[in-house]
Structure 1
């Protein structure tokens, strides 16, 4: 497994972004190798932890149209993407990785 941590800022309130986020979630579900996303929000900071089956799937997502759309969206700024190897055996103990 491989994880991405993607964050960005927005002056638009989270409530106003909700409908677009639902559409984004629907599109995300069809990404090859996608496993799960934990959604994060703290006032003007948004993002998530994304889990993929492997690094190649995560990098394809990172370089694909959904992340490009985040980077190009006029309401979003400061987009940051970081990748992480996942320690699966410990993650399974804490329900963070499918067993």
Structure 2
């Protein structure tokens, strides 16, 4: 498994981007190797923890059209993407 942590700021209120987020989630579900996303929000800061079957799938997603759409969205700024190896044996101890 491999994880991405993606964060950005949004100048639009969350209720204005809700429909777009639902469409994004539907598209994300079709990404090869995608396992799960935990959605994060704290005021104008948004993002998520994404889990993929392997690093190649995560990197393909990172370089693909959905993340590109985040980069180009006029209300989003300060996009950061970080990749992480997943320690599955420790994760199993905490129900991950």
Distance 2:92 2:67 in 1: 28
Q: CA deviation at 1:70?
A: 0.2
After TM superposition, the structure 1 = structure 2 runs for residues 28-47 of structure 1, keeping only pairs within 5 Å, are 28-47=28-47
Please list the CA deviations of residues 13-67 of structure 1 after superposition, one character each: whole Å capped at 9, or x if unmatched: 1111111000000000000000000000000000000000000000000000000
Distance 2:92 2:34 in 1: 17
Map of 1:18 onto structure 2? 18
Structural RMSD (CA): 0.6
Of 64-73 and 10-19, the range deviating more from structure 2 = 10-19
After TM superposition, the structure 1 = structure 2 runs for residues 79-98 of structure 1, keeping only pairs within 5 Å, are 79-96=79-96
Distance 2:47 2:87 in 1: 22
For this pair of structures, how many residues does the alignment match?
96
Uncovered stretches (5+) of structure 2, i.e. residues with no partner:
none
Of 36-45 and 10-19, the range deviating more from structure 2 = 10-19
Distance 2:4 2:40 in 1: 13
TM-score (norm 1): 0.95
Uncovered stretches (5+) of structure 1, i.e. residues with no partner:
none
Map of 1:49 onto structure 2? 49
